[in-house]
Structure 1
Amino acid sequence: MKKHLFKNEQSFEIDESSLESRMDFIKDSMGNTEDLFMLPISYRDRKGTIFYLSTIADSEKIQEGILFPLIKYQDFDLNDIPFTAENNSRVTLKEAVNALLQGKSIFIVDCWDDIFSFNTAKDLSRSPIEPDNEKTVRGSHLGYVENLTTNIGYIRRGIGSRHLHIRYFQNGKYTNTLTAMVYIDRIANPNLVEKLVNRFQTITTDMAFSPGYLEELIEDSPLSPFPHILYTERPDRTIAHLMEGRIALLTEGSSDAIILPVSFFSFFQSPDDYNSRIITGSVFRLLRVVSFFLALLLPGLYIAIIGFHFEIIPSDILVVVKNSVDNIPYPPLIEAMIMAFTIELIREAGIRLPTPIGQTIGIVGGLIIGDAIISAGLVSNIMVIVVAMTTISSFTIASYELSNTVRILTFPIMVLAASFGFVGIIFSLMFIIGHLCKLESLGTPYFSPVAPFDVQGMKDAIVRFPIWLLKFRPRDLLVKNRRRLYRPRRWEENEE
């Protein structure tokens, strides 16, 4: 039977029972690429061919899982041969071409309508290690790898429930990147799930091979400096957010999972908060929140005090400050800009260079350049202290994306502080808070539980309450089942 395929791109008229016709179709579809191997083999006196891409298919799996059973069981019906490789005989010719691109092997026999597809993809993933960006003292030290199936397996192992649902999407006209959407059906809000599915189905792009591409295509306000999506490389952190009713997205070839919807306070939470005692976890989370405001406002406060409000400096320190800034040829704003720009250069160089050289750059920048710029009289000692405290504070923020936001917002705040003093800082804070109240993450309030205010949600926002008091999931997610704990610490009733 003759049939037309791929009418939208190029029309091929083929005989679906002819081996030569189907071979020509596959070669034309693959563009005659040189890593397409065609292994001829006979079965019951009929000619057959095994197709595979040598760059992503495992030759040992092909030999042991396909060739040996075909040779050994020549008398068996093809559907009854015990292939050791996972196979599927119900694929169309167009599906067979897509299967080749996933590392699978295709077996076609002359005058047979069935096309066999075997899973012979190479294992290109690395062994799991603890993520460098999310170190923890206690708890799991397992991190994601670049294999989607392995990453979903980590989540399955942590959530042994039949209500854990996985939905797959392919994005990118040329990359055909496989993305998995993971959520718990009995907890997650079905409206949020469908909203995310609709956004995925409207994506039309040539490539989408990393979560960063997907983030820009599905987030609510891509021009906002604040991140709307939480990145994580830790399965335990993903599992915790899934149990809250959120949705996780994992992409083939990436070791990052993205969590949404999230709130502003989600970026201050760390697994160590829940693996430590109550007071310890709360104090260190509060320290991160304070560090956020220090990194955001400290340079602006210094500029405003030196330029407008020096009278608030205690008299004992006033002489020290005056002697430090008297001989500086630049105003405080230019002085702060020079130091902030220098710190950003050192930080970026340390990230891009190999690790041993990156550490050397940090030492050279922190000691030699810092001492030289002070000795030259270009920057005051106090400004160096202020910028150093700002940089250290930005490092304590648990999210790299939110840390980048602080680095960006520091510059306009310094300009407003140099122009209007404390009034400029207050105005910038009002603008930031108003912007946070307006933002949404997948249609849910971004600044929850502060706006709208939720008493239950505040128990796990700025500080962490005891686990037995965290009985309800966040209100803003509108989950199916809000209750998390039913009768915690029930043993106290028995001991009484």
Structure 2
Amino acid sequence: MRRGTRKSARNKPYQIPTSAESHDAFWTLKENKHYLKEAFYHTQDLKFREVVIQNVACLICYLDPLVDEDKLQTTIMKPLMERNELNVGHIVTSKEIRQSNNLLKAVSALTKGFVVFLTEGVQNFYLLEAFSSDTRAVTEPVNEQVVRGSHEGFVENIVQNLQMLRRRIENPNLVVKFFKVGKSTDTKLAIVYLQNLANPELVAEVERRINAIEADSIQTPGYVEEFIEDAPFSPFPQMLSTERPDRLTAHVIEGRVGLFMEGSPSTLIMPVTFFSFYQSPEDYNSRWYIGSVLRIIRITSFIFALALPSIYIATVSFHSEILPAELILNIKSSLENVPFPPLIEALIMQITLELLREAAIRLPGPIAQTIGIVGGLVIGTAIVEANLVSNMMIIIVALTAISSFAVPSYEMSMSIRLLGFPLMLLSATFGFIGLVFGLSLILIHLCGLETFGTPYFSPLAPFRFNELKDSLVRLPRWLLGKRPVDVHAQEVRQEWFSRRWKRNEDE
């Protein structure tokens, strides 16, 4: 019992001594230094520098991995040594200078890359910005590549991401609001919107939901999405994730709200509709009829990826009479030596395809290509020659996979592939009746789903004919004179979309 008691006492967190309930700073550097060491549990990357200015002892404290050494020397140390004055606030050239006497604020600031400057015999201290801004270079997002258009993507630095957005929207109405979520991680979030366009009720609702997040850790935008989305059990994504500044810019100008998170290149856009996931920036960089055809192909791929295996299973199992006689003979000959029913065939192939896809994602690039070749040629050929799967099922699954890869959104692509499995079970059990029943449930769910007050399946439900010109198809930009009604933007008319030169010629 004694050993257990000692072990528990040893593991008990150290209670940081304080000079007052408000954690006011101590008058001596020794006590302040001891407090900070205990607050960080004597971590070895907490650095201290003692300097003497005007015969007064001073202490500089910072976390080494978070501070830029060059910035520390040029903006803090060099001005102090050259001027030899204690008027720190007017001498150092740091981007941000704060003053406080609360040691809890000093601890919090240290974790964000600030430098704490303390003076012997003085309770007030300075918090000087010197954090390292090292980040990766701006590159094109791997998952959202385009042939024509911008080739820059967001990075993990929220300040740099906001800079890219500010360069695209040079407008004083662009508002940025910061939030802190996660009790342990203290993660920084930022929402962006245009003050003169975004619906105030939408902005207030987004802020309310973010402020209501209570979690120990927020590490990715996916965490935030799960906390603030309307229907957490829906298989469909309700916020659009993108790493492209041009895509976010287009949605913000329509009156939507974007959400950034420190440490992640992905941004969330809200509210969105189902058809937003099938729009690509390349649609607006091509001729309008080319963009319309490509968009129709993507929406058609939704039906193929969702229902093609189920249609095949229902046809072969229950309704083979609808097929031409020549095709029936071909399918029958390929199924003669296969010991499994069509449902098991489809499950084997779909699961194998998902395994190959996961393996290709996890492995390095050259090896991933080898896995694709081995999976597509060797395994596929071996399965057919072993009479485990028919040739027709290989074709069906391949078309399904290609259709799912045509979706510009990774989240929507995953949702479609997962929904295909229950549809296959219904088709194998009840034929076309089960398939129609399953598709009807999905359609009812899409029509009833809302995201931040916006109908998810708009403009089809509720039906708005005028909104179809930038959802199912993409008409010329000069005909898109109004913003989407579903966003409830403050200004619906976009007057700068015009062919005024043509009008002047006609006059």
Q: TM-score range by the shorter chain?
A: over 0.9
1:297 aligned partner, one-letter code: A
1:296 aligned partner, one-letter code: L
Q: Which residue of 2 aligns with 1:464?
A: 474
Tell me if the contact between 1:456 and 1:472 (Cα under 8 Å) persists in the aligned partners.
Answer: no
Deviations 1:325-380 (A, max 9, x none): 12211111111111111111111111111111111111000000000000000100
1:339 aligned partner, one-letter code: M
What is the TM-score normalised by the length of structure 1?
0.96
Tell me if the contact between 2:483 and 2:492 (Cα under 8 Å) persists in the aligned partners.
Answer: yes
Deviation of 1:16 (Å): 4.3
Paired residue secondary structure (1:133)? helix
Tell me if the contact between 2:407 and 2:413 (Cα under 8 Å) persists in the aligned partners.
Answer: yes
Deviations 1:461-495 (A, max 9, x none): 11111111111111111111111235610111221
CA distance 1:143–1:149, shift in 2 (3 Å): same
Structure 2 residue 99 is the aligned partner of structure 1 residue 90: yes
Structure 2 residue 237 is the aligned partner of structure 1 residue 237: no
Q: Which residue of 2 aligns with 1:28?
A: 38
Aligned length: 487
Paired residue secondary structure (1:85)? coil
Deviation of 1:85 (Å): 2.5
Q: Which residue of 2 aligns with 1:391?
A: 401
Structure 2 residue 230 is the aligned partner of structure 1 residue 220: yes
Deviations 1:73-96 (A, max 9, x none): 014733331x23224132343222
1:279 aligned partner, one-letter code: Y
2:261 aligned partner, one-letter code: T
Structure 2 residue 324 is the aligned partner of structure 1 residue 318: no
CA distance in 1, matches of 2:28, 2:485: 61
Pick from 71, 74, 79 the counterpart of residue 61 of structure 1.
Answer: 71
Tell me if the contact between 1:454 and 1:475 (Cα under 8 Å) persists in the aligned partners.
Answer: no
Pick from 135, 149, 153 the counterpart of residue 143 of structure 1.
Answer: 153
Paired residue secondary structure (1:162)? coil
Matches for 1:54-133 after TM superposition, within 5 Å? 54-75=64-85, 77-81=87-91, 83-93=92-102, 94-133=104-143
Structure 2 residue 387 is the aligned partner of structure 1 residue 377: yes
Paired residue secondary structure (1:12)? coil
Structure 2 residue 54 is the aligned partner of structure 1 residue 44: yes
CA distance in 2, matches of 1:484, 1:239: 15
CA distance in 1, matches of 2:17, 2:450: 45
Structure 2 residue 361 is the aligned partner of structure 1 residue 351: yes
Deviation of 1:44 (Å): 1.3
CA distance 1:91–1:448, shift in 2 (3 Å): farther
2:205 aligned partner, one-letter code: K
Pick from 18, 23, 28 the counterpart of residue 12 of structure 1.
Answer: 18
Pick from 162, 170, 187 the counterpart of residue 152 of structure 1.
Answer: 162
CA distance in 2, matches of 1:291, 1:241: 24
Deviations 1:241-287 (A, max 9, x none): 10111111111110111111111000000000011101000000000
1:68 aligned partner, one-letter code: K
Matches for 1:304-315 after TM superposition, within 5 Å? 304-315=314-325
Percent identity over the alignment is 45
Deviations 1:95-118 (A, max 9, x none): 222111111111111223432222
CA distance in 2, matches of 1:146, 1:275: 27
2:97 aligned partner, one-letter code: N
Pick from 419, 429, 433 the counterpart of residue 419 of structure 1.
Answer: 429
CA distance 1:76–1:418, shift in 2 (3 Å): closer
CA distance in 2, matches of 1:76, 1:34: 28
Paired residue secondary structure (1:372)? helix
CA distance in 1, matches of 2:175, 2:463: 31
Deviations 1:412-470 (A, max 9, x none): 00011111111111111110010011111122211111111222221111111111111
Tell me if the contact between 2:89 and 2:97 (Cα under 8 Å) persists in the aligned partners.
Answer: no
Tell me if the contact between 1:170 and 1:176 (Cα under 8 Å) persists in the aligned partners.
Answer: yes
CA distance in 2, matches of 1:154, 1:454: 34
Q: Which runs of 5+ in 1 are unaligned?
A: 1-8
Tell me if the contact between 2:259 and 2:269 (Cα under 8 Å) persists in the aligned partners.
Answer: yes
Deviation of 1:10 (Å): 6.0
1:468 aligned partner, one-letter code: W
1:304 aligned partner, one-letter code: A
Pick from 178, 183, 198 the counterpart of residue 188 of structure 1.
Answer: 198
Tell me if the contact between 1:105 and 1:120 (Cα under 8 Å) persists in the aligned partners.
Answer: yes
Using the TM superposition, name which of 181-190 and 115-124 deviates more.
115-124
Tell me if the contact between 2:101 and 2:123 (Cα under 8 Å) persists in the aligned partners.
Answer: no
Pick from 257, 260, 275 the counterpart of residue 267 of structure 2.
Answer: 257
Q: Which residue of 1 aligns with 2:375?
A: 365
1:91 aligned partner, one-letter code: S
Deviation of 1:392 (Å): 0.5
Tell me if the contact between 1:91 and 1:114 (Cα under 8 Å) persists in the aligned partners.
Answer: yes
Paired residue secondary structure (1:401)? helix
Using the TM superposition, name which of 223-232 and 465-474 deviates more.
465-474
CA distance in 1, matches of 2:316, 2:101: 74
Q: Which residue of 1 aligns with 2:3?
A: none
Tell me if the contact between 1:468 and 1:485 (Cα under 8 Å) persists in the aligned partners.
Answer: no
What is the TM-score normalised by the length of structure 2?
0.94
Q: Which residue of 1 aligns with 2:439?
A: 429
RMSD: 1.4
CA distance in 2, matches of 1:10, 1:196: 37
CA distance in 1, matches of 2:221, 2:207: 16
Tell me if the contact between 1:87 and 1:116 (Cα under 8 Å) persists in the aligned partners.
Answer: no
CA distance in 1, matches of 2:45, 2:25: 25
CA distance in 2, matches of 1:106, 1:294: 60
Q: Which runs of 5+ in 2 are unaligned?
A: 1-14
Tell me if the contact between 2:176 and 2:190 (Cα under 8 Å) persists in the aligned partners.
Answer: yes
CA distance in 2, matches of 1:69, 1:10: 34
